């Protein structure tokens, strides 16, 4: 270790103390312990160019132990990624690009939004999948990089890391290297309170290459050797196990559970700095020679970026496909490949979705993914494009196995890496298993297409454990998640068009059972979120529905018409898209001057925003044929017509 390296590492440790102390909030100890590791990664190992943090062929860094965010922010400032010293001073403050946990899109150089432990590991698995697919499809001259992760005891304890690591080992993702910071400290105390796993044995059983560095957290050459050994394994992901001491260098806090959080105050910080040879009374002190050293490291990859740009400019392969992948878009004119169905056919919307996906494969080359052991059931089969595996690294069909939570987080990593539009599927009721990853997709504005089929009690005989009731309401509660429940095959095509054209995540909520293709539905209208299917003269009320219940409302309107009651019918496939419309347009569609009744085979929560009353299911379902369950729980044209007449009588009585 040279003198400038030692000084630089001490500066990183000091920043790890100063920023949380300034904020009176944050996690100091892990960042201090891993300062030497961060130094080695950013100066000896990773290939990047700080002037172009979005260079597509850069190495990726994921801080799965996101509570140690000040470590990443310190390195991004020192290497010249655009963070200023004032940004570090405003750590965890309103409007600062240095939030409590790393957030993609907020801070240049942050690749994924981590925080909930274990997510980053799964994100990195997705990045490794995307890297391998691109490298195979377009060549190593276009894509050839690695993914590095820092994870802690909490990451390895969470179940999602088990799911993701198992799949990564099975797929042989050799460009993935995870450093496990085994500091044996948790918030409650030592990890031995609740953890006695053999991490090395577990990961070897997953099929990973394991490097056990022992107590080498301050040995730069050992760290470099371990990381290079991990990076050079081509056929397996690698786990580098490092035993560190939390808050290393602090005379009182070192090795204590308190150091997991904000535990170093004025006297302890001053004493630690004095031991490190830094000014004890100066915060955010960065000697000029240290900043110069790291800034040189930040631009060391510039020549490699220039060479990549030259190779890309000379690329004579499928340039249109490459550009579409990197832009997460379709080829020119891709919309012309969308299928259509004739009115009167009975088509489950999951089947319509499957047909649409197949039609788009050739014209939207970034589409890739599959299901959590429900690929055929959810219509997420990507036929004819190969099965992604160690032996077929360019395949676009991914079998995730029964791993819903990891599947969601892996998809986030794939799209945030760039080059992929991931499509992932399972039953709607199992969205609960992947909700944390879905929430982070929305927070990250990650372009993932979530396909959730078997969308109601119409699932039938499987019973209430498999019949989603509250799930639509719970998904609609997530900000930035675009939820679309199409009425039929025609609207399903429109939903896919929105998903491909729009940024951020889209949830497609699809039926298991066949539903009629309605003559009045319009694919292009889905983008508005809602529209009137039936607009008769002198209507008495409006029936509003989503999904399979739109047809129910049409039948109810026919029944009401036979009794002399004229009803409008509105399809409202996406509340989120509809909410983006001007208020005048919303009023034109919903007609607030008329009484309105919503119909949806799920919880009625939230419908008061759009309609006066709602027919729904505010209880769990039952095991019986789907049509029987629907009928018994009031999702029928007869019940809707009866409820509509009650609404009209109530309106008449109140006047």
As a residue count, the chain comes to: 655
404, 520, 549, 600: which is the annotated catalytic residue?
404
Q: What DSSP designation does 367 have?
A: E
Closest of 434, 428, 16, 443 to residue 246, by C-alpha: 16
Residues paired with residue 424 on neighbouring β-strands, in sequence order = 370, 450
CA distance 251 to 344: 77
Integer angstrom CA distances of residue 180 from 26, 78, 202, 229:
21, 24, 13, 15
Closest of 428, 443, 453 to residue 357, by C-alpha: 453
The DSSP bridge pattern shows strands 506-509 and 482-484 to be parallel
Name the 3-class secondary structure at 495.
helix
CA distance 307 to 461: 60
Closest of 350, 632, 622, 635 to residue 460, by C-alpha: 622
Name the 3-class secondary structure at 347.
strand
**Is 404 known to be catalytic?**
yes
Name the 3-class secondary structure at 519.
coil
List of residues 6+ apart from 493 with CB closer than 8 A: 338, 339, 340, 352, 356, 523
Contact 251, 275 (CB under 8 A): yes
CA distance 607 to 229: 57
CA distance 275 to 164: 41
Residue 214 phi, psi (nearest 5): 65, -145
Structure tokens at 620: 């769990």
Catalytic residues: 404
């Amino acid at each position: 270790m040279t003198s400038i390296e030692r000084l630089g590492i001490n500066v990183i440790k000091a920043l790890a103390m100063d920023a949380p102390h300034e904020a009176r909030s944050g996690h100091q100890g892990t960042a201090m312990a891993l300062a030497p590791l961060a130094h080695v990664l950013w100066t000896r190992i990773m290939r990047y160019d700080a002037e172009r943090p979005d260079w597509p062929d850069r190495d990726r860094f994921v801080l799965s132990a996101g509570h140690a965010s000040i470590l990443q922010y310190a390195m991004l400032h020192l290497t010249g990624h655009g963070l200023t010293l004032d940004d570090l001073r405003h750590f965890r403050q309103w409007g600062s690009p240095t939030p409590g946990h790393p957030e993609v899109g907020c801070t240049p150089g942050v690749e994924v939004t981590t925080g909930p432990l274990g997510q980053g590991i799964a994100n990195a698995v997705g990045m490794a999948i995307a890297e391998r697919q691109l490298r195979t499809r377009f060549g190593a001259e276009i894509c050839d990089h690695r993914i590095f992760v820092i994870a802690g005891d909490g990451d390895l304890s969470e179940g999602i890391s088990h799911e993701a690591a198992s799949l990564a080992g099975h797929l042989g993702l050799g460009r993935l290297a995870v450093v496990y910071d085994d500091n044996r400290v948790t918030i409650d105390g030592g990890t031995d309170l609740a953890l006695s796993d053999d991490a090395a044995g577990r990961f070897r059983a997953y099929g990973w290459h394991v490097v056990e560095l022992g107590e080498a957290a301050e040995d730069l050459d050992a760290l470099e050797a371990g990381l290079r050994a991990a990076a050079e394994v081509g056929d397996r992901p690698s786990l580098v196990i490092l035993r560190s001491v939390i808050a290393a260098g602090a005379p009182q806090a070192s090795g204590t559970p308190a150091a997991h959080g904000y535990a170093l105050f004025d006297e302890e910080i001053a004493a630690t700095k004095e031991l490190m040879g830094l000014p004890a009374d100066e915060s955010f002190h960065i000697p000029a020679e240290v900043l110069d050293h790291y800034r040189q490291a930040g631009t060391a990859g510039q020549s490699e970026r220039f060479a990549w740009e030259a190779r890309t400019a000379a690329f004579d392969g499928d340039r249109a496909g490459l550009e579409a992948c990197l832009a997460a878009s379709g080829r020119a004119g891709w919309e012309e490949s969308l299928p259509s169905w004739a009115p009167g056919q009975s088509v489950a919307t999951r089947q319509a979705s499957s047909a649409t996906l197949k039609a788009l494969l050739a014209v939207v080359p970034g589409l890739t993914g599959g299901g959590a052991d429900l690929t055929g059931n959810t219509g997420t089969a990507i036929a004819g494009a190969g099965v992604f595996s160690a032996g077929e690294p360019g395949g676009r069909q991914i079998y995730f196995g029964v791993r819903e939570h990891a599947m969601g987080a892996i998809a986030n990593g794939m799209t945030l890496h760039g080059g992929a539009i991931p499509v992932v599927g399972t039953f709607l009721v199992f969205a609960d298993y992947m909700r944390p990853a879905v929430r982070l997709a929305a927070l990250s504005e990650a372009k993932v297409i979530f396909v959730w089929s078997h969308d109601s009690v119409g699932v039938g005989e499987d019973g209430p454990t498999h019949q989603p009731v509250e799930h639509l309401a719970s998904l609609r509660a997530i900000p930035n998640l675009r939820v679309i429940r199409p009425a039929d095959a025609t609207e399903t095509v429109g939903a896919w068009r929105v998903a491909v054209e729009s940024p951020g995540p889209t949830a497609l909520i699809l039926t298991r059972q066949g539903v009629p293709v309605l003559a009045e539905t319009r694919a292009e209208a889905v983008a508005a979120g809602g529209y009137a299917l039936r607009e008769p003269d002198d209507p008495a009320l409006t029936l509003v529905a989503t999904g399979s219940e739109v047809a129910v409302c049409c039948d109810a309107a026919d029944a009401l018409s036979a009794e002399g009651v004229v009803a409008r019918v509105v399809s409202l496939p996406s509340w989120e898209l509809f909410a983006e419309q001007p208020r005048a347009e919303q009023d034109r569609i919903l007609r607030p001057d008329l009484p309105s009744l919503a119909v949806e085979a799920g919880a009625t929560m939230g419908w008061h925003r759009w309609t006066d009353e709602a027919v729904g299911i505010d209880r769990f379902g039952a095991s019986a044929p789907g049509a029987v369950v629907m009928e018994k729980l009031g999702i029928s044209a007869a019940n809707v017509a009866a409820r509509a007449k009650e609404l009209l009588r109530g309106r008449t009585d109140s006047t």
